[in-house]
């Protein structure tokens, strides 16, 4: 099974107001293993970036001035995505922007490109998180805290970094690390670990119980009396 975990950054929140994609980051997962293959591009949107968006991702018009347009990036991006299951946090947002970019291309191209959701299945990790953790915060940062995924480098949003973090969160949220390793060597290691645990349990069952001697009990009682004296009778051992 091939999955691509994807994130975008945009000039603003409303695709219907003509906002554009300025960064795309994606990482490949095959059979629940990160392959190391990634896709990452910045793009010149040929329009201004909202101040609120700049506060989120820190990307400026000056930085994007010499970057390629979406039309230049699309052939490579389409090849990377085609046939994969896309995993996206709040997928409707990113898919709406991707499809809008494709539709703008189609208006200028003789051979109209396909919308992304026609050649990829879409999985919304936010929907999965809300089902798994109803009534709780399910932002990417909240999920990182819940699943102990390091997001300390996420001072600003960045498409590739967020995709890498989401991939870790998604794998943990949908099965954990135990399902990521399934070859013969891993199974052998698991069997050996189970055998070792069984041996430890047998050893524990055979341990000899040693009772405290009267003088040891008396010394313990004297210590509790001293602790009581200095804590106004609040010694936890007495409770």
Instruction: Supply 148's token pair.
Output: 């102990």
Catalytic hit among 40, 157, 220, 230: 157
CA–CA separation, 141 and 154 (whole Å)? 9
CA–CA separation, 167 and 37 (whole Å)? 13
Instruction: Supply 50's token pair.
Output: 């909202």
CA–CA separation, 124 and 108 (whole Å)? 30
Among positive and negative, which fits the CA dihedral 10, 22, 93, 37? Answer: negative
Catalytic residue status for 230: no
CA–CA separation, 234 and 228 (whole Å)? 6
Among positive and negative, which fits the CA dihedral 214, 218, 223, 229? Answer: positive
Give the single-character DSSP code of 156.
S
CB 84 within 8 A of CB 4: yes
Instruction: Supply 5's token pair.
Output: 């975990």
Give the residue numbers marked as catalytic: 157
């Amino acid at each position: 099974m091939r999955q691509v975990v994807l994130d975008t950054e945009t000039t603003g929140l409303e695709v219907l107001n003509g906002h554009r994609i300025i960064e795309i980051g994606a990482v490949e997962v095959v059979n629940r293993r990160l392959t190391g293959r990634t896709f990452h591009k910045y793009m010149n949107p040929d329009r201004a970036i909202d101040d609120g968006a700049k506060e989120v991702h820190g990307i400026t018009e000056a930085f994007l001035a010499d970057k390629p347009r979406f039309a230049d990036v699309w052939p490579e991006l389409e090849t990377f995505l085609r046939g994969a299951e896309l995993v996206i946090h709040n997928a409707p947002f990113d898919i709406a922007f991707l499809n809008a970019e494709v539709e703008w291309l189609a208006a200028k191209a003789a051979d109209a490109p396909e919308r992304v959701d026609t050649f990829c299945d879409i999985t919304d990790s936010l929907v999965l998180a809300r089902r798994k953790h109803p009534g709780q915060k399910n932002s990417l940062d909240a999920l990182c805290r819940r699943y102990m995924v390091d997001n300390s480098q996420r001072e600003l949003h960045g498409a590739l970094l967020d995709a890498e973090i989401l991939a870790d969160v998604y794998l943990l949220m949908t099965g954990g690390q135990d399902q990521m390793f399934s070859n013969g060597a891993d199974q052998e290691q698991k069997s050996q670990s189970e055998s070792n645990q069984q041996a430890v349990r047998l050893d524990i069952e055979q341990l000899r119980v040693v009772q405290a001697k009267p003088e040891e009990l008396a010394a313990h009682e004297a210590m509790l009396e001293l602790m009581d004296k200095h804590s106004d009778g609040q010694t936890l051992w007495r409770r």
